[in-house]
Amino acid sequence: MIKSRLCDRLGIKYPIIQAGMGPFSNNNLCVATASAGVLGLLSTSGLFEKERQPWIYKAFVETGEAKSEDDMATALEKVLKRTNRLVKDKAGVFGINVMVSAEVIQYSRVLIDTAIRVRQENHDMKDHFKVIFTSAGDPVGWAEKIKGAGFTWIHVVPSVRAALRCKKAGVDVIVASGHEGGFHISWEPVHSMVLLPAVVDAVSDDNTLVAGAGGFCDGRTLAAALILGADGAQIGTRFLATQESDFPQIWKEGVVVAEDRGTLVARGFVGPARWLKTPRSSEHARNTLQKSPGVFLGIPEDYSTADMLTNFEIESIKAVYEGNKEKALMAAGEVAQRIKDMPKVNDLVQEIIKEAETVLRKVPKKVLA
């Protein structure tokens, strides 16, 4: 059976992290993945969207046993308690994914403080709610709060420089996210085959673990991550297209029918984003070239360059929730072109692990004399 240091550190059965994929609800997906033996991550940034994108917020509260009138802390508390209740009999392990960028820092503090309080008040959570996963911001300054409360701290990075910043901050597990990933990706297009081993070389040691993200979707790619020196892999798009996934049906079906070269990059809320290739996303890419060319030049730009693009994206995400295929924008990683079905999560996890074991057993026979 495949087992890595990530399994030992988190108490999970398999060295896989289910990506948070915010701001979209994944409350049911997290329950399914955690119950299947991998780390399940709850998205939380949908709680920011109550006013701007109420369709995202509505989906979040409805799948999490919360109410529209709940404030942010109350809604998250209900989601955490529901998740714990549903995974504990399966010995599932889960966490929350929290953006900590400067633009949303006031929300980040509420979410992390709420997570700490709820875990402290509910002692049976400590064996299951083990992780706070931060993203889209500077990790320095969070260690005392997160690790001091007994959580394992994971942070995602797009570069070696950012990984070294995580090392300085005291992050436990660093996720190196290559440009193949879905939705939010880095300004500079460094892909997993280059990024992951470089991050492993820079920061991996007895205290700091590394996982790969971007392009991982099956047993072969999980095996590749382990061979490249990682302790596991984060998987997003492949889990999006599963029966238990909370994502709208047209989104899941869009992933399944994606073909060769089935994604493109255009502007997203916080920078470059990878979308399924459709007439709508192609229009978005053309608009991005005019209004936010830094997306294609690797030059970070702020919101002031992309007001029109942000409005286009909001309208297009709303269309997804309305089932309007003509106007829908749907994010996905490059691996969408390799996904051809919509299995149950547990069946998928078992298939990934079985294939990875087979690949890893065959490698020495193929290449060693």
162: β partners? none
Half-sphere exposure of residue 318: CA atoms within 13 angstroms, side-chain side: 10
Which CA distances in Å does 212 have to 188, 191, 222, 255, 262?
A: 17, 11, 9, 21, 22
Chain centroid, CA 79 distance in Å: 18
Q: Where are the alpha helices (DSSP H) in the chain?
A: 5-10, 27-35, 54-63, 72-87, 105-121, 143-148, 160-169, 192-203, 219-227, 237-240, 249-257, 279-291, 294-297, 307-322, 345-367
> Are 153 and 170 spatial neighbours (Cβ–Cβ below 8 Å)?
yes
- Dist CA 220 CA 354 (whole Å): 10
Which CA distances in Å does 258 have to 24, 52, 206, 253, 338?
A: 20, 29, 40, 9, 8
Long-range CB contacts for residues 168-171, cutoff 8 Å, separation at least 24: 168/140, 169/139, 169/140, 169/141, 169/142, 169/143, 170/143, 171/139, 171/143, 171/208
DSSP annotation string for 16-39: EEE---TTS--HHHHHHHHHTTSE
- Dist CA 288 CA 68 (whole Å): 34
43: β partners? 97
Return phi, psi of residue 190, to 5°: -100, 125
Confidence (pLDDT) at 363: 87
Chain centroid, CA 25 distance in Å: 12
Domain ranges of the chain: 5-247+340-367, 259-331
| pTM confidence score | 0.97
> Are 42 and 97 spatial neighbours (Cβ–Cβ below 8 Å)?
yes
Confidence (pLDDT) at 240: 98
Confidence (pLDDT) at 273: 96
pLDDT tens for the chain, 369 residues: list them. 898 999 999 999 999 999 999 999 999 999 999 999 999 999 999 998 888 899 999 999 999 999 999 999 999 999 999 999 999 999 999 999 999 988 889 999 999 999 999 999 999 999 999 999 999 889 999 999 999 999 999 999 999 999 999 999 999 999 999 999 999 999 999 999 999 999 999 999 999 999 999 999 999 999 999 999 999 999 999 999 999 999 999 999 999 999 999 999 999 988 899 999 999 999 999 999 999 999 999 988 876 666 778 889 999 999 999 999 999 999 999 999 999 999 999 999 999 999 999 999 998 888 887
Which helix (DSSP H) or strand (DSSP E) does residue 276 occupy?
strand 271-276
List the CATH code of the domain at 5-247+340-367.
3.20.20.70
Helix (H, G, I), strand (E, B) or coil at 183: strand
**Which of 132, 108, 123 is CA-nearest to residue 39?**
132
- Dist CA 119 CA 170 (whole Å): 21
Confidence (pLDDT) at 303: 66
Confidence (pLDDT) at 366: 83
- Dist CA 327 CA 331 (whole Å): 13
- Dist CA 178 CA 159 (whole Å): 9
